[in-house]
Structure 1
């Protein structure tokens, strides 16, 4: 979705990031290897070492170290903690389910970036949701046809914006209702 994207990153993507970090660390390009060594210093063991020593020990760096670095960069203490957070997210709203229930007669506005969608939401109203790498805005009738109460006060509290809600607690309450109605996630958390 471009800059400012808040779409969730999959576990697979984090594994790829860890592999790329190790590839960078082993690079013959000194600047690339140095940047990777700096990132490795996010781990307590490497933090205590001078940068040159991290580079000298790059042959001893394992995949688990790369995973730990990307977990820390994502705001988690360990890889296990990151994995658990992603598995918990698997029980979140999956907007793909909106379109598996035969709601094709409704026209929704589609956008390749969140920023475009947010401008449209402000100008024309509706309800903004993420969908894979895009965003869409639907009308209340679309939600009502899915059996979702578009008049629930929490929609207004969150600004009708699922991606960047004004009130995260309102979103959590709505999400719990929607997931319990069969709109739960099936994210890849392997």
Structure 2
């Protein structure tokens, strides 16, 4: 069954949703057409119209209007914004950026498997991160040199383990902070 994660919605899927919305608006099924008209009222042009007025003007509704509604329903102001977001992919932590930004010498512990890194973190402390197919464990001073607060309570909540965090919400909060600091890369989910 599912693991709780969902695949990102593709641009094609959003376009299909817009087409289905327009199809619903044109439907002879009154309930279906009325639900679609209500959704169309998310757009400023249609917002001031009654449902009956939206339905009366349905022959003027274009595919671009459907795209705009779908974009708003997905949390974006415009179709162009949604399209750009999907094409860019989600931003996630890019640990390679750590090593492009720090100019001091730190003795991080490197491991070829997660299990070795996790044992080292448990016995010697530190913060565990992935790096390609490997893992490394760094100390708080390494994070501080990067401008990252190692005292943030979310590090403890997630067990200082980026690969297998105890608390996924804590990791998400930290990831947002680190991406905002410039340690983000695009995750290719296509």
With structure 2 as the length reference, what TM-score do the two structures score? Answer: 0.57
- Higher-Rg structure is 2
5 Å matches for 1:147-166? Answer: 147-149=134-136, 156=155, 159=158, 160-161=164-165, 164-166=168-170
Residue-pair matches, total:
143
* Map 1:102-113 → 2, pairs under 5 A: none
Deviation at 1:37, TM superposition (A): 0.4
CA distance in 1, matches of 2:75, 2:166: 22
Shift of 1:83: 1.6
1:71 and 2:71 correspond: yes
Change (3 A) 1:144 1:43: closer
- The alpha carbon displacement at 1:5 in A equals 5.4
The structure-2 alpha-carbon separation of the partners of 1:45 and 1:25, relative to structure 1 and needing over 3 Å to count, comes to same
Q: 1:78 to 1:164 in 2, by over 3 A?
A: farther
Tell me the equivalent position of 1:140. none
Aligned counterparts of 1:6 and 1:157: Cα–Cα separation in 2: 27
TM-score by length of 1: 0.57
Residues 144 and 14 (structure 1 numbering): CA distance in 2 closer, same or farther, change over 3 Å?
closer
Residues 49 and 9 (structure 1 numbering): CA distance in 2 closer, same or farther, change over 3 Å?
A: same
Distance in 2 (CA, whole Å) between partners of 1:18 and 1:162 is: 39
Contact 1:15 1:67 in 2 (8 A): yes
| Partner residue, 1:21 | 21
Secondary structure of 1:28's counterpart equals coil
2:167 & 2:54 partners in 1: Cα distance?
Answer: 39
| Greater relative contact order, per chain length (Cα 8 Å cut-off, separation 6+) | 1
Change (3 A) 1:76 1:28: same
CA distance in 2 between partners of 1:26 and 1:76 (Å): 25
Report the Cα distance in structure 1 between the residues aligned to 2:87 and 2:32, rounded to whole angstroms. 32
Residue 13 of structure 1: how far off its partner (Å)? 1.5
Q: CA–CA distance in 1 between the matches of 2:53 and 2:11?
A: 30
CA displacement, residues 124-179 of structure 1 (integer Å, 9 cap, x when unaligned): xxxxxxxxxxxxxxxxxxx68811336787995573459943243422438x7685
Tell me the distance in 2 between the aligned counterparts of 1:163 and 1:8. 22
How far off its partner does 1:73 sit?
0.7
1:79-94 map, 5 Å: 79-89=79-89, 92=92
Secondary structure, in 3 states, of the residue corresponding to 2:82? helix
